[in-house]
Amino acid sequence: MVHVINSMKRLSQFIDFSIALMIYICLYSLTHKGQGSGGYFTDENDLASYVITILPFSYYLFFQAKGKGRIFYGFALIVGLMSIVTSLSRGGFLGFVAMAGVIWLSSKNKITTLIICGLLGVGLSTQSPDHYLLFS
Q: Would the pLDDT of 58 be above 90?
A: yes
pLDDT of residue 14: 93
Domain count, the chain: 1
Would you say residue 14 lies in a domain?
yes
E strands present in 25-101? none
Would you say residue 74 lies in a domain?
yes
- Find the domain containing 85 and state its range: 8-126
Provide the residue type at 17 as one letter: F
Instruction: Please state the pTM of the whole predicted model.
Output: 0.81
Q: What are the two backbone dihedrals, phi and then psi, of residue 133, each rounded to the nearest 5 degrees?
A: -95, 10
Contact 29, 47 (CB under 8 A): yes
Distance CA 72, CA 53 (A): 17
Would you say residue 110 lies in a domain?
yes
Would you say residue 3 lies in a domain?
no
* Mean of all residue pLDDT scores within the chain: 84
Would you say residue 131 lies in a domain?
no
Helix 68-87 to helix 44-64 angle (10° resolution) is 160
Residue 47 gets the label, from left (phi > 0), alpha (psi -120 to 50) or beta, of: alpha
Would you say residue 73 lies in a domain?
yes
* Count of CB atoms situated within 10 Å of the CB of 52: 20
Report which of 45, 55, 59, 61 is spatially closest to residue 11, judged by C-alpha positions: 61
Query: pLDDT tens across 77-117, in order?
Result: 989 988 888 888 888 888 988 988 888 888 888 888 788 77
Would you say residue 115 lies in a domain?
yes
pLDDT of residue 136: 46
Q: Would the pLDDT of 53 be above 90?
A: yes
* Count of CB atoms situated within 10 Å of the CB of 27: 14
